[in-house]
Structure 1
């Protein structure tokens, strides 16, 4: 009797294993990524404290070849409008901050996306004296995926000044097929430059979000070999008379 109970337990466990695997095939995939950029004036030094001729400018635009391709029930949240050219006085504490972010998901279909954001940050000296400007520049990158192992999300930043003297690149990747399904990177450092009378200084920052997600909502049926194996287990526990009917039922 105990042996029969044990064999019934084995059969039930095997059934649970195959049903569990079938449920796993109903996939849902999602991603979340952002890049936050900060520019702030840390200090201004010069022969005078008349900063009336100093001006700070900024803009953000989307590269015209950016795209999102969606099939099935996928969707992507994209609330990143362009920022037209803006300007204001350059004083200690003057700053420009912006976050370029996306998130989305799919349960039956695919999402393929590649979006490039372009930043131009400028500093102008319309006065008659030179100033040393210390600029505090920082950024934070984040990418995360969840669900199907095909999911991949990446964020990359590249920045330089108009003379190519201030240059850097950083990137992060998150993927379902990697140990890293969530990635983060940050950077912060001061940069000092001299702004002569009538001179200007530009910084160019490119931020790229790209990735791919795929999901299949169709459940996978139990393979024929699984049914045969379960029938054999049930036959062992004394159900020989019903074995034929069982096989006919599941054929």
Structure 2
């Protein structure tokens, strides 16, 4: 759920008013009638980030990033700031489970708040377009166990560090904690999409590049690649 409204705050002793966007996310990722192996999947931090990034993209805000708080405060067990470029424009976090249970919320609750006045100052109305791809792409998946503290941004940074030729996009599609994964770790799965504007890529070309990405992640993230 989300809500947009005016908020009053103390600005160096003077009252100030501004627009805020609040987002709350909990429960199932899909509607009850969804069919598929992930029909009972529960929303996670990655889902909240996906909503934030889609919002930013639709409103022309480029360069969205996150910075984790060393010590979460207030109601949160984990929190951080949302940034556009290097400027903070919002906060996000996971609500304390004790507080969630007090309000009869049985699943993890994720919250975000944007200062819309600041955020929309960072938008651009310039739009760019590119031709539809002329050649098919190919996909390679990586499932790996990483330390719990590993962020999505760290994974993307490691992938870029390998300088993979023809890498078009990287998509997180699964996060797992539980049986078979040690405490303090999590299993994450990513889809890597490769495409060349010059022709259809051969498996050997993609495999060679993708192996470099895997090796980079082993080194940077202390990742254990799952079979």
> TM-score, with normalisation over the residues of structure 2?
0.21
Structure scoring higher RCO (CA < 8 A, sep ≥ 6) equals 1
Higher strand share: 1
TM-score, length of structure 1 as denominator length:
0.20
Bigger share in helix:
2
